[in-house]
C-alpha cells in the first residue's frame, strides 16, 4: 500500500491566524468567541481549556471579557453592537473574508444587488450579506438561472457577484458563465481563497489517482465538506473522519490519498498517521507517504519522514522569498510557496512609525523576508522586513564610514548620553554633543523624527555604531555659506533666524552665514536693548547694509526706509501746524512729546506755559496728551520744536531762533530732539542735567 498526503492538508493562513489571536487574547485575560473560532471541535475545546469560551451574541459577554470575532467574520450588526458596548475586540476575521466585506460595501454604495454564491446559513455568508441592503444568495446553479430568467428586470439590474471563500471552484465558474450570458451589468469578483483552490485541486488530483481517499476534518467545516464531495465524485471509496479512531481499514486498497480541511490541526493529521501505522501492522503492507508530484511508491523512507517533508517546515532566522497576497492596516500576508501562511505584522515592517503597508508593497510583488517565528502546529510563519533590512543595513553602515555617505534614520529612543537612531534597521548611537541640540536642550523633541547623520564608528563584533547629526549640519552649513558668499550683494534680502542677542544688536543666520543687526537698525522706535523686540529663534526678514568679504562680516538691517517715521512726519506736517502729542519724558529743561512712534519733539520749559514755571512737572505729567504747535523743523538734523505757549499768545519768531531777554539761560539752539538717533544734544550749561537720562 502507498499513501499520499496532500501538501495543502491542514490549517490555512486565516485559520492559523485566528487561533493564534485567540490564544494571545486568552493569555491577557478572559475572552469569548462569537461562535466557534474555527469549525473544529477539538481546537475549540483546547481554547476553552485556556479560558476562551464560546458565546452566540454580544449580550452574553461578561464584564472584563475580550470579544473575539471568529475566522469566518461576523455581521455588521454584531460589530456595531460591540462598538456601542465599548468592549475590547479582537477581530480574527480571515483577511480574505474581510476583503469580501469591502467588495460588498462597495457594491452596495454603487446601488448594485449583491449576489453571493454559497451556503446562506453559513456564518461567513451571513456576515457578507449584512454589508449590503439588497442581497440574493444561491447555493445551486438552477436557482440562480431561474432568478435571472424569470424576473424580466433581473438580468438588466446592476449586480455584483462574490463567492463564499470555500465554495467549489467549478460551481462558481458555472455561476459566472450563466451571469455572463444573462446579465448585462454585472461585476464579478474572484473571492475564493487561494488556499481553497489549491486544496481542492490537489484533492481532485489525488482522488483521480487513488482507489481510497481519507478526508480529515470537522463535520461542520464547509471547506472539508467540499473536499469530501469533490473526492466522492472521483473516488467512491472515500472516508470522512474527524479523528483517527474513526478511520476504517481501507481493504485491499493499493493507493490511499489523504487530505484535510483548512480547520484541521496538525496534531489531528499526526493521529491519522499513527493510525496508518496500525493499519500497516494489520495488513503487513508497506506504507509510504509522498508529495502529490511523486508517483513512484517504491521508497524506503518512513511515513513520518515523508509527512514531515510534505509539511515543509521553515526555520527561524532564515531568509525566504515570497509573494504579497494581501495588505491591510495591521499586517501584510505573504505566500511563501510552502504550507505555512506567512504574515508580516505592522511592527515588523519598519522602524518608521509613519510608514503605511500599502506604500511599501503591492499585491503580487515578490519580496524577500526574514523568518522570525514558525508555528508548525498552526501552519503560520511570522516574518519581518525590518530585520532583513537590518542584516543588509550592517553592510551599508560599514561602507558609509569609508565613503562618508550621509544616511537617514528614525530616532527611536533617548538615553542618558544621547539618542538612538535606527538606520537601515541598525541601532546607531548619537552622543548628545553630536545631536545638534544646544546644551540643555530637550533631546526628547527628536523622538520619532527622521534625521540625517554621518556614521563615525562601526564595531560589528560589539554591535556598536556611532553617528553624528552635527557633522551633517556643519557640512550643509559650509555649503550654504559658500553659496551665499558667492552671490551676496549689498541690498540683497534674506529670510533669517535670530541666533543670539547682545546689548548692542542681534546675530541673524541667513542660511549658513551669520550677519549682525545693530540695535539702531532693528526698529525705528527708540529701543535700549534688542531683547525688547526680538527673541532667539524669531524669523526675520533682513537686507544687507554692508559686507566685508575678506573678514567675512555682514551688516544687516531689519528696519526699512519706507517705514521711516521721520519721512512720514515730514510728509504730513509743517511749521505752524497744531497737533496732539503725548508727553513721554520730563527733563529739567523741558518735556519730550511723541508726535508719532519714532518722532519726538521738544517743548522747552519756556514754551510750556504763558508764565514762568520752576519745573515742567508743575504743569505736565508723563503720558499726558497735550495740544501743541510746531514752531520749527530742522530737516537736516531731524529735529522738531513744539510750543504750548504759542497757542495762548502770538509768537513772532520760532522758539529755536531766539529766546526772550528775561530768559537768557535757555538759548533756543541749545536743546534739540533727534528722532533718528534718539539722542539729545545739549549745551555745556545744562549737560549735567540730562547726563544719564537719554542715550
Which tens digit of pLDDT belongs to each residue from 676-686?
Answer: 333 333 333 33
Which tens digit of pLDDT belongs to each residue from 411-421?
Answer: 999 987 899 99
Which tens digit of pLDDT belongs to each residue from 378-432?
Answer: 667 889 988 887 777 787 888 888 888 899 999 999 987 899 998 887 889 999 9
Report which of 49, 11, 112 is spatially closest to residue 378, judged by C-alpha positions. Answer: 11
Q: Looking at the predicted structure, is the pLDDT value of residue 363 above 60?
A: yes
Pick the most confident of 4-13, 167-176, 249-258. Answer: 167-176
Of 335 and 633, the structure prediction assigns the larger pLDDT to 633
- The interaxial angle of helices 169-182 and 194-209, nearest 10 deg, is 120
Of 253 and 599, the structure prediction assigns the larger pLDDT to 599
Domain total in the chain: 6
547 lies in the same domain as 595: no
635 lies in the same domain as 577: yes
Q: Looking at the predicted structure, is the pLDDT value of residue 311 above 80?
A: no
Mean pLDDT, range 212-233, rounded to an integer: 88
Q: Looking at the predicted structure, is the pLDDT value of residue 190 above 70?
A: yes
Instruction: Pick the last residue of a domain from 175, 192, 209.
Output: 192
326 lies in the same domain as 371: yes
Q: What is the pLDDT of residue 421?
A: 93
Q: What is the pLDDT of residue 682?
A: 37
Q: What is the pLDDT of residue 672?
A: 40
Q: Looking at the predicted structure, is the pLDDT value of residue 304 above 80?
A: no
Report which of 338, 312, 376, 285 is spatially closest to residue 3, judged by C-alpha positions. Answer: 285
Q: Looking at the predicted structure, is the pLDDT value of residue 263 above 50?
A: yes
Q: What is the pTM of this model?
A: 0.42
Instruction: Report residue 357's pLDDT band, with 50, 70 and 90 as the boundaries.
Output: confident
β-partners of residue 671 are 682
Q: What is the pLDDT of residue 378?
A: 61
Mean pLDDT, range 284-293, rounded to an integer: 38
Instruction: Report residue 251's pLDDT band, with 50, 70 and 90 as the boundaries.
Output: low
Task: Indicate the range of 3-17, 32-46, 532-546 predicted with least confidence.
Answer: 3-17
Q: What is the pLDDT of residue 293?
A: 36
355 lies in the same domain as 436: no
Q: Looking at the predicted structure, is the pLDDT value of residue 628 above 90?
A: yes
Q: What is the pLDDT of residue 379?
A: 66
Q: What is the pLDDT of residue 671?
A: 38
- The interaxial angle of helices 13-28 and 41-49, nearest 10 deg, is 20
593 lies in the same domain as 686: yes
φ/ψ bin of 440: left (φ > 0), alpha (ψ from -120 to 50), beta (otherwise): left
186 in any annotated domain: yes
Mean pLDDT, range 575-600, rounded to an integer: 91
85 lies in the same domain as 145: no
Instruction: Report residue 55's pLDDT band, with 50, 70 and 90 as the boundaries.
Output: very high
Mean pLDDT, range 565-584, rounded to an integer: 90
Q: Looking at the predicted structure, is the pLDDT value of residue 631 above 90?
A: yes
294 in any annotated domain: no
Average pLDDT in the chain: 81
Q: Looking at the predicted structure, is the pLDDT value of residue 599 above 80?
A: yes
Q: What is the pLDDT of residue 507?
A: 93
546 lies in the same domain as 582: no
339 in any annotated domain: yes
Mean pLDDT, range 19-48, rounded to an integer: 87
233 in any annotated domain: no
Instruction: List the catalytic residue out of 124, 271, 331, 378.
Output: 124
Q: For position 147, which CATH number holds?
A: 3.40.1010.20
Q: Looking at the predicted structure, is the pLDDT value of residue 291 above 70?
A: no
Task: Indicate the range of 253-257, 467-471, 529-533, 691-695 predicted with least confidence.
Answer: 691-695
Q: Looking at the predicted structure, is the pLDDT value of residue 490 above 70?
A: yes
Q: What is the pLDDT of residue 633?
A: 92
Which H or E run includes 401? helix 386-403
Q: Looking at the predicted structure, is the pLDDT value of residue 53 above 80?
A: yes
276 in any annotated domain: no
Pick the most confident of 236-240, 252-256, 585-589. Answer: 585-589
Q: What is the pLDDT of residue 152?
A: 56
Q: Is 124 a catalytic residue?
A: yes
CB burial class (10 A; 0-12, 13-18, 19+) of residue 109?
exposed
452 in any annotated domain: yes
419 lies in the same domain as 462: yes
**Would you state the torsion angle of the CA atoms of residues 588, 589, 590, 595, taken in this order, to the nearest 10 degrees?**
-110
Share of residues in the chain with pLDDT > 90 (%): 26
Q: Looking at the predicted structure, is the pLDDT value of residue 288 above 50?
A: no
- Cβ contact 370:381 at 8 Å: no
Instruction: Report residue 508's pLDDT band, with 50, 70 and 90 as the boundaries.
Output: very high
132 lies in the same domain as 52: no
113 lies in the same domain as 78: no
Which tens digit of pLDDT belongs to each residue from 116-163?
Answer: 999 988 999 999 999 999 999 999 888 888 888 876 566 778 999 999
Cβ neighbours around 215 below 10 Å, total: 28
247 in any annotated domain: no
In angstroms, rounded to a whole number, what is the distance separating the alpha carbons of residues 663 and 645? 15
Q: For position 363, which CATH number holds?
A: 2.40.50.140
Q: List the domain range (segments joined by +) for residue 34.
A: 13-91
686 in any annotated domain: yes
In angstroms, rounded to a whole number, what is the distance separating the alpha carbons of residues 291 and 278? 21
Q: Looking at the predicted structure, is the pLDDT value of residue 669 above 60?
A: no
Mean pLDDT, range 8-37, rounded to an integer: 84
Q: Looking at the predicted structure, is the pLDDT value of residue 469 above 90?
A: yes
In angstroms, rounded to a whole number, what is the distance separating the alpha carbons of residues 114 and 429? 56
Q: For position 32, which CATH number holds?
A: 3.40.50.11270
Give the three cell numbers for residue 582. 503725548
Q: What is the pLDDT of residue 661?
A: 37
Q: Looking at the predicted structure, is the pLDDT value of residue 657 above 70?
A: no
Distances (CA, A) of 540 to 128, 479, 493, 556, 562: 60, 22, 11, 11, 17
Q: Which residues contact 511 (CB under 8 A, 6 or more apart)?
A: 480, 484, 494, 496
Instruction: Pick the last residue of a domain from 91, 107, 135.
Output: 91
- Cβ contact 235:254 at 8 Å: no
183 lies in the same domain as 100: yes
Cα-to-chain-centroid distance, residue 408:
17
591 lies in the same domain as 650: yes
Which tens digit of pLDDT belongs to each residue from 228-237?
Answer: 989 999 998 8
Which H or E run includes 90? strand 89-91
Q: Looking at the predicted structure, is the pLDDT value of residue 8 above 70?
A: yes
Mean pLDDT, range 29-40, rounded to an integer: 88
Helix (H, G, I), strand (E, B) or coil at 548: strand
Mean pLDDT, range 206-217, rounded to an integer: 89
Instruction: Pick the last residue of a domain from 192, 219, 250.
Output: 192
Q: What is the pLDDT of residue 21?
A: 85
Amino acid at each position: 500500500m502507498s499513501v499520499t498526503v496532500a501538501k495543502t492538508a491542514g490549517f490555512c493562513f486565516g485559520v492559523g491566524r485566528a487561533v493564534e489571536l485567540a490564544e494571545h487574547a486568552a493569555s491577557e485575560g478572559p475572552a469569548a468567541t462569537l461562535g466557534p473560532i474555527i469549525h473544529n471541535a477539538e481546537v475549540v475545546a483546547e481554547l476553552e481549556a485556556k479560558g476562551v469560551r464560546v458565546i452566540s451574541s454580544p449580550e452574553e459577554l461578561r464584564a472584563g471579557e475580550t470579544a473575539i470575532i471568529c475566522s469566518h467574520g461576523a455581521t455588521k450588526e454584531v460589530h456595531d453592537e460591540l462598538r456601542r458596548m465599548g468592549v475590547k475586540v479582537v477581530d480574527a476575521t480571515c483577511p480574505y473574508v474581510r476583503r469580501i466585506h469591502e467588495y460588498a460595501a462597495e457594491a452596495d454604495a454603487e446601488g448594485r444587488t449583491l449576489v453571493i454564491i454559497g451556503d446562506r446559513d453559513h456564518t461567513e455568508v451571513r456576515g457578507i450579506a449584512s454589508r449590503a441592503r439588497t442581497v440574493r444568495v444561491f447555493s445551486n446553479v438552477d436557482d440562480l438561472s431561474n432568478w435571472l430568467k424569470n424576473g424580466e428586470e433581473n438580468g438588466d439590474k446592476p449586480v455584483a457577484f462574490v463567492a463564499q471563500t470555500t465554495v467549489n471552484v467549478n460551481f462558481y465558474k458555472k455561476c459566472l458563465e450563466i451571469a455572463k450570458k444573462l446579465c448585462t451589468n454585472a461585476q464579478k469578483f474572484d473571492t475564493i481563497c487561494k488556499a481553497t483552490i489549491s486544496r481542492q485541486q490537489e484533492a481532485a488530483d489525488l482522488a483521480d489517482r487513488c482507489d481510497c481517499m481519507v478526508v480529515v476534518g470537522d463535520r461542520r467545516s464547509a471547506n472539508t465538506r467540499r473536499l469530501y464531495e469533490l473526492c466522492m465524485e472521483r473516488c467512491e471509496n472515500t472516508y470522512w473522519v474527524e479523528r483517527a479512531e474513526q478511520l476504517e481499514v481501507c481493504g485491499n486498497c493499493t493507493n490511499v490519498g489523504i487530505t484535510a480541511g483548512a480547520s484541521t490541526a496538525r496534531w489531528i493529521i499526526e493521529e491519522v498517521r499513527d493510525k496508518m501505522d496500525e493499519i500497516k501492522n494489520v495488513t503487513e503492507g508497506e506504507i509510504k507517504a509522498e508529495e502529490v508530484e511523486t508517483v513512484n511508491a517504491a521508497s524506503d523512507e518512513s511515513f513520518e519522514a515523508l509527512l514531515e517533508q510534505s509539511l515543509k517546515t521553515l526555520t527561524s532566522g532564515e531568509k525566504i522569498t515570497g509573494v504579497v497576497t494581501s495588505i491591510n492596516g495591521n499586517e501584510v500576508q505573504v505566500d511563501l510557496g510552502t504550507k505555512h501562511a506567512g504574515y508580516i505584522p505592522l511592527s515588523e515592517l519598519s522602524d518608521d512609525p509613519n510608514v503605511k503597508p500599502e506604500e511599501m508593497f503591492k499585491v503580487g510583488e515578490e519580496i524577500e523576508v526574514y523568518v522570525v517565528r514558525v508555528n508548525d502546529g498552526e501552519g503560520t510563519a511570522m516574518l519581518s522586513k525590518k530585520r532583513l533590512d537590518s542584516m543588509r543595513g550592517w553592510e551599508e553602515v560599514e561602507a558609509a564610514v569609508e565613503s562618508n555617505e550621509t544616511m537617514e534614520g528614525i530616532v527611536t529612543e533617548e538615553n542618558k548620553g544621547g539618542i538612538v537612531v535606527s538606520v537601515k534597521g541598525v541601532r546607531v548611537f548619537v552622543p548628545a554633543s553630536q545631536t545638534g541640540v544646544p546644551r540643555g536642550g530637550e533631546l526628547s523633541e527628536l523622538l520619532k523624527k527622521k534625521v540625517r547623520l554621518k556614521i563615525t564608528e562601526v564595531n560589528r563584533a560589539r554591535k556598536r555604531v556611532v553617528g553624528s547629526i552635527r557633522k551633517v549640519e556643519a557640512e550643509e552649513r559650509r555649503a550654504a555659506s559658500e553659496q551665499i558668499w558667492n552671490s551676496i550683494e549689498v541690498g540683497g534680502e534674506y529670510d533669517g533666524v535670530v541666533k543670539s542677542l547682545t546689548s548692542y544688536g542681534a546675530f541673524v543666520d541667513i542660511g549658513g552665514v551669520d550677519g549682525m543687526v545693530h540695535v539702531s537698525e532693528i526698529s525705528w522706535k527708540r529701543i535700549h536693548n534688542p531683547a525688547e523686540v526680538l527673541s532667539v529663534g524669531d524669523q526675520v526678514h533682513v537686507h544687507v547694509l554692508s559686507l566685508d568679504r575678506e573678514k567675512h562680516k555682514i551688516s544687516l538691517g531689519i528696519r526699512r526706509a519706507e517705514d521711516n517715521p521721520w519721512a512720514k512726519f515730514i510728509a504730513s506736517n509743517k511749521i505752524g501746524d497744531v497737533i496732539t502729542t503725548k508727553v513721554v519724558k520730563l527733563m529739567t529743561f523741558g518735556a519730550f512729546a511723541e508726535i508719532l512712534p519714532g518722532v519726538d519733539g521738544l517743548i522747552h520749559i519756556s514754551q510750556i506755559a504763558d508764565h514762568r514755571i520752576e519745573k515742567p512737572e508743575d504743569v505736565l505729567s508723563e503720558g499726558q496728551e497735550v495740544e501743541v504747535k510746531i514752531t520749527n523743523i530742522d530737516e537736516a538734523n531731524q529735529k522738531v520744536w513744539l510750543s504750548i505757549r504759542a497757542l495762548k499768545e502770538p509768537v513772532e519768531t520760532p522758539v529755536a531762533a531766539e529766546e526772550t531777554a528775561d530768559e537768557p539761560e535757555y538759548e533756543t539752539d541749545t536743546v534739540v530732539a533727534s528722532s533718528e538717533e534718539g539722542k539729545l544734544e545739549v549745551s555745556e550749561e545744562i549737560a549735567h542735567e540730562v547726563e544719564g537720562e537719554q542715550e
